[in-house]
Structures are given as C-alpha cells and as structure tokens.
Amino acid sequence: MQENKFVGTWKLLSFVIHFPDGTIMEPYGDNPMGMAMFDENNNFVAQLMKSDRKEFDANNQLGGTPDEIKEAFEGYTAYYGTYEVKDDKTLVNRVEGSLYPNWIGGEQIRYYEFYDNFCDLRTPPTKAGDIEYTGLLKWERVA
C-alpha cells in the first residue's frame, strides 16, 4: 500500500486565483492564514482566512453589523469531512460541514503536487457567473 503523503498538519503559505486573461487575484491578501489537517482515517478539516480581518465593534459574535458580518464571511473559508486520494494527482474532499452551505454534501476536487515539505493544490476550472478561474493553494507541512 502506498504511503498517504497528506496525513499531517499543513500551514497555508499562499492562495492565488488565476484568470484566463492572465490576471491574478489573492482573495485573502498577500499574507493569508490557514491550516489543514488530514488524518490516517481519511478525515480532514481546513480553514483559511485573511490575516487582517477586522474585529466587530460590538465585541459580540452575534452583534456584528451587516457590513462586519459580510466582511468576516468573505474573509474566511472553513470546511471538513472525509477525503480520498484518487490517483497520483487527484484529491477528493467530501464535504460534511462548511461555512459555505452550498458545499455541504458535495465534493471538492483538488489536483496535487508534493515537493520537499510542501504541497500545491489546484482547483479544477471553476465558474463564477461568466468568468472561469483556477485557484492555487501552497501548503507547508508543519507536523
């Protein structure tokens, strides 16, 4: 049986969106934060965020203004579930819970490449309205 290289804890180094016209976007800024954990029983959890998220003025988790809530939501991604390494390039995350409800019960496909203590995860081409893009997330193993 082949070793599962995903097992462990990973720190997010970068998250970049690539558009067909060559432009790029860093949805969580140039210093995103994030952690992903994969266990030997094929469970995973992943959280990504902007490093400069603003605090709510009310200092109350349920007391944010609509603008504060929108900004907090748009600056954070969290999901968990089970995963399967399909082949030597494809990872399938089966989402059981997510901050973004539309992912629950679905699959998130990622194409992976390992090098040294790092892993690149690429999204398949994704559409947002009429615009197609791909994402590239760079991770470093920390445990």
pLDDT digits (tens, 9 = 90+) for 51-69: 999 999 999 888 899 999 9
81 lies in which domain range?
Answer: 8-141
Asked if the structure places residue 20 within a domain, the reply is yes
Across 11-25, average pLDDT: 96
Asked if the structure places residue 109 within a domain, the reply is yes
Asked if the structure places residue 133 within a domain, the reply is yes
Asked if the structure places residue 3 within a domain, the reply is no
**CATH number (domain holding residue 127):** 2.40.128.280
Asked if the structure places residue 106 within a domain, the reply is yes
At 16, the pLDDT band (50, 70, 90 cuts) reads very high
Asked if the structure places residue 102 within a domain, the reply is yes
Look at residue 58 in the predicted model and tell me its pLDDT: 93
At 87, the pLDDT band (50, 70, 90 cuts) reads confident
Look at residue 2 in the predicted model and tell me its pLDDT: 64
Domain tally, the chain: 1
Long-range contacts of 82-91 (CB under 8 A, 24+ apart): 82/42, 82/43, 82/44, 83/6, 83/38, 83/42, 83/43, 83/44, 84/42, 85/4, 85/6, 89/113, 91/6, 91/121
pLDDT of 3 > 90? The answer is: no
pLDDT of 1 > 60? The answer is: no
pLDDT of 88 > 70? The answer is: yes
Asked if the structure places residue 2 within a domain, the reply is no
Asked if the structure places residue 1 within a domain, the reply is no
Contact 100, 126 (CB under 8 A): no
Q: What percent of the chain has pLDDT over 90?
A: 90
